[in-house]
Amino acid sequence: MALPSFATAADLAAVMQAPVDADAAAVALASASAVIRKWARQDISLVVDDVVRLRVIDCEALVLPQRPVVSVSDVRVGSLVLSDWVLSGDRLLRAGGWHRLPGTTSYPGAGLVQVTYTHGEEDPAVARAVCLDLASSTMANPSMLRQEAIDDYSRTFASESLGVGSLSETHKELLADYRRRVGTLGLR
C-alpha cells in the first residue's frame, strides 16, 4: 500500500516562497516522507481498516504495531470472531489473557490473531513540518554543494548534509512521539 506524502507541492512552494517543479517536488516530498516513516517505524498517516496478523507473545496484552490506534473493528483467530477484548491505547486486552480461546485450553496452530483496525492521523502536522523542512533543503541544494560561486556572486550552504534528506537531532526530537520502540511482531 502506497502511503501519501505528508505535504503537497503547493505546501512546498509556500514554504520555499517560490514556484517549484511539480515532479521534483513530488520526489523530494515522497523521499522525505519515507525517511520519516523509516525512522519512526510507523505509517503515521491515517489508514482505515488495516488488517494485520499478530502472533500471541505476551499473554496479557496484544500490542498493535501502528499507532495511534483510532478504532478496532474485528478481532479473530481463524474463523472464530472474538468480542471479549478491550482497547487500551495501542493494546488489546482480554480478561482471561491471550493465552487461550473461549472454550479451549490453547490456540490452534501458530497462535495468530487477525486484527482489523484504523490507525494514524488524518493531518499529522509535525510530520508535515519535518517533511517540508527536509524537502525544501533538498530542493534548495539538490547537488549537495557546500559552496558555489559565479564571478563576484558566492553562496555558501550551512551544512554539507543539505539535500541528502537526513533527519537532524531536532527533527528526531519533534518526531519522537511517533516512534515505535517495541511491539508485537506483525506478519503479513
Q: Domain boundary at 96, 119, 142, which?
A: 119
Answer yes or no: do 38 and 75 share one domain. Answer: no
Kindly tell me the burial class for residue 52, based on how many C-beta atoms sit within 10 Å of its own C-beta (0-12, 13-18, 19 or more). middle
| Same domain for 65 and 87 | yes
Considering the domain boundaries, does residue 23 fall inside one?
yes
Same domain, yes or no: 156 and 173 = yes
Q: What is the pTM of this model?
A: 0.79
| Distance set, CA 97 to CA 10, 70, 93 (Å) | 49, 22, 7
Q: Are residue 96 and residue 138 in the same domain, yes or no?
A: no
Residue 172 lies in a domain: yes
Pair (53, 101) in one structural domain: yes
Domain membership of residue 146 as a residue range: 9-42+123-178
Cβ contact 117:54 at 8 Å: no
Helix, coil or strand: residue 157: coil
Q: What's the N-to-C CA distance of the chain in angstroms?
A: 12
pLDDT tens, N- to C-terminus, the chain (188 residues):
689 999 999 999 999 999 999 999 999 999 999 999 999 999 999 999 999 999 887 678 899 999 999 999 999 988 889 898 999 999 999 887 787 776 665 555 567 899 999 999 999 999 999 999 999 988 887 666 666 678 887 666 555 444 456 899 999 999 999 998 754 454 44
**Do 51 and 141 have their domain in common?**
no
Domain boundary among 99, 119, 139: 119
Phi, psi of 131 (to 5 degrees): -60, -45
- Domain identity same for 128 and 148: yes
